[in-house]
Amino acid sequence: MEYLVVSDTHGRIEKVIKYARGRNFAGIIHAGDYYRDGIALGTELGIPVFAVHGNCDGVWNGIEEELLELNGIKIFLTHGHLYYVKHDLKQIAEKAAQLKVDLAVFGHSHVPTFTKLNGVWLLNPGSPERPREEQGGSLAVIKMEERNFTADLIYL
């Protein structure tokens, strides 16, 4: 089973739709900025969406964190601004370890990352339209199989 992971779409989802159309994703995980883009992607592609609000969503009473369990994988979903991920990944790794999850998915920095810290995998898909590194826009795909998972960073 595969999940499309995006963040920091900021109102521009064309590249994500182009990439995802015709693929068989089980759902979309959107880590905020803009929450409504996650909903639009789910509607366009006809698949479930798991999404949180980010610091640019303007909805301060919105959902900023979610705990998910997909195919036996425990996931902490947040935008990342509350954990200062632009500076380092220490705080989000600590929170994820406290929650005893397998994977933390976040955004905010616009820098794609897939690394393990404090025994927890951390995944930031980057930004498809507003990247902050030379490789260009990005997203991620999580492949899940019987309580195991891998993630691939995809450059658009």
What is the pLDDT averaged over residues 126-149?
A: 89
| pLDDT tens digits along 9-61 | 999 999 999 999 999 999 999 999 999 999 999 999 999 999 999 999 876 66
Average pLDDT over residues 139-143: 98
Q: Which residues pair with 6 in a beta bridge?
A: 30
Query: pTM to 2 decimals?
Result: 0.95
**Alpha carbon 66 to chain centroid distance?**
11
Q: Which residues pair with 62 in a beta bridge?
A: none
Domains of the chain and CATH, by start: 2-155 (3.60.21.10)
Percent of the chain with pLDDT over 90: 87
